[in-house]
Amino acid sequence: MVSRVIPVETFDLVIFGGTGDLARRKILPGLFRRFCSGQMPKEARIIGAARSEMDDAGFRELVRDAIHEFDSKRPDDCPELNGFLECLAYVAVDAKGDGGWNELSALMREGTVRAFYLSVAPSLFGDIAERLHTRGLALRDSRIVVEKPFGRDLASARALNETLALHFHEDQIYRIDHYLGKETVQNLMAVRFGNMLFEPLWNSQYIDHIQITVAETVGVGGRGAYYDKSGAMRDMVQNHLMQLLCLIAMEPPSRFEPDSVRDEKLKVIRALEPVDYHHIVRGQYDKTDTQPGYREHAENPRSHTESYIAMKCHISNWRWAGTPFYMRTGKRLRARASEIAIVFKDTPHSIFDEDAGRHRNTLVIHLQPKEGMELGVTIKEPGPGGMRLIDVPLDMTFQEALGPDVEDVPDAYERLIMDVIRGNQTLFMRGDEVEAAWAWTDPIIEGWEARKEVPKLYDSGSSGPEDALMLMHRDGRKWREIK
Ligand code: NAP
């Protein structure tokens, strides 16, 4: 199967923070892959902007090294690399001062799509937005891309939205949540809304519960000080996990268009019930004889910040009343695995003897490390011995189902940047969505703070605190194994 690549129109993309970690690891290698696939036109220009003094040649060298380091799929002497590097330029710009802005302005071309990617600390978003506007770099159809975290609570997110709104219209603002750019996440919408098979069953009448898991093996490592001010709730749940929940739970939008999709997601967030604190488990990974624990990584021996969270949520609407959504995410867990499991109810009546066993269908959407889907179907165990039921997976690992071309499926950042150039906001969060998500999470966080709640310790390499298992056991359910 050969994937169809539709080239985007030519563009000027300015990456503020073009020398930083995110630009080197994700944005620039991602753009290079789109260049290799033929999607990025050769006339496009990518302008790195940061305070460090450097010329174009220095920036190209930095990008060459980043691609070698972070794009393992290409050989070091890949023939397209020089062509891509030709598209690069660099300007030393201070987001908070006057330096470099005239030079940047002089580089921008008339009649070309302009996009400004703010891959810098959120404290600089306002300064950059203001200068882009007042210095006339941003035109009415220019786009501004902002990275997470988008605020740390409702008040700060609202302030950030207001600041951006002073200089940009909502249809110019692209708030990135890279989970939405994942192939499987979009496939979730294709499966739900492109098949007759699932949608009639997609409700509390047929679905027992849903599990959303984002498990990481890494700890907070070098990001300890930053992470300690955030925690799993702010870093993962408020954005990535809630976005996944929205896509599973939303009503069919009338069209696959930005506001139709985002209106439906917003309704889900607004229908989320406040969470009883008994339905939340917070954890911190413990130290071992040889490895530091969370508090050592955070350099905060009294830290109450969670590196793990599990919770049970309910959505108050006709479709979902009575079907719980269990979400969990954590660091230093047994395996790196992100998945959504839709667990269907038992058949209403079994025609088989008790010893045949009873099984439930489960649709699992794997997000990482391998993207794909799997549907657990109950069949008769082959062979003699009467009717015994077993579960077999109908497995659609993309790589196996779609062949080697799936290697060329763009990763989340590549896809999202191309969507920015195309002016398609469907996979980006709207301002009211982000605020609604904070409005739901704020009282939960405030509750922990008021109760001075201390997270439970869990072993590195485990599947999280015991209490998280109990959260499910109490309901007669269990988490899927993290593997
Ligand atoms: P980083 O490695 O610290 O890079 C920051 C960049 O900003 C550098 O290029 C820096 O270059 C530039 N910069 C700092 N102050 C500046 C100023 N006053 N004017 C102009 N440029 C300035 O940070 P990062 O990890 O790339 O993260 C960037 C953003 O992405 C943050 O909002 C972060 O939360 C978000 N994010 C990062 C990741 C990730 O994996 N790294 C993932 C998700 C979201 P100079 O020092 O030369 O100015």
pLDDT tens string 133-170: 999 999 999 999 999 999 999 999 999 999 999 999 99
The beta strand positions in 162-269, using DSSP E, are: 173-175, 207-215
pLDDT given for residue 390 in this prediction = 85
Cβ of 127 less than 6 Å from ligand 1: no
297 in catalytic set: no
- Cβ pair 245, 317 in contact under 8 A: no
Hunting for tokens 């050769």 — which residue is that? Answer: 42
Closest by alpha carbon to 407, among 35, 74, 23, 31?
74
Helices (H), 24-153: 28-37, 56-70, 81-86, 101-107, 125-134
d(C-alpha 41, C-alpha 153), whole Å? 39
Closest by alpha carbon to 330, among 442, 416, 436, 459?
459
The domains found in the chain, sorted by start residue, are 11-147 (3.40.50.720), 180-473 (3.30.360.10)
Residues of the chain scoring pLDDT < 70 = 1-3, 72-77, 398-409
Closest by alpha carbon to 433, among 180, 195, 232, 222?
180
Mean pLDDT, the chain, integer:
93
Query: What spacing in Å lies between the alpha carbon of 434 and ligand 1's midpoint?
Result: 21
Query: What spacing in Å lies between the alpha carbon of 306 and ligand 1's midpoint?
Result: 24
Protein residue with its CA nearest to atom 21 in ligand 1: 50
Q: Find the catalytic residue in 167, 178, 209, 240.
A: 240
Which residue of 104, 120, 147, 416 sits with most ligand 1 atoms within 8 Å of its CB, as the best mutation to test the pocket?
A: 120
pLDDT given for residue 51 in this prediction = 98
pLDDT given for residue 372 in this prediction = 86
User: What is the token pair recorded at 129?
Assistant: 């937005």
Cβ of 121 less than 6 Å from ligand 1: yes
Cβ of 95 less than 6 Å from ligand 1: yes
End-to-end CA distance of the chain: 30
pLDDT given for residue 72 in this prediction = 67
pTM, to two decimals: 0.94
Helices (H), 214-257: 224-228, 231-232, 242-249
Cβ of 120 less than 6 Å from ligand 1: yes
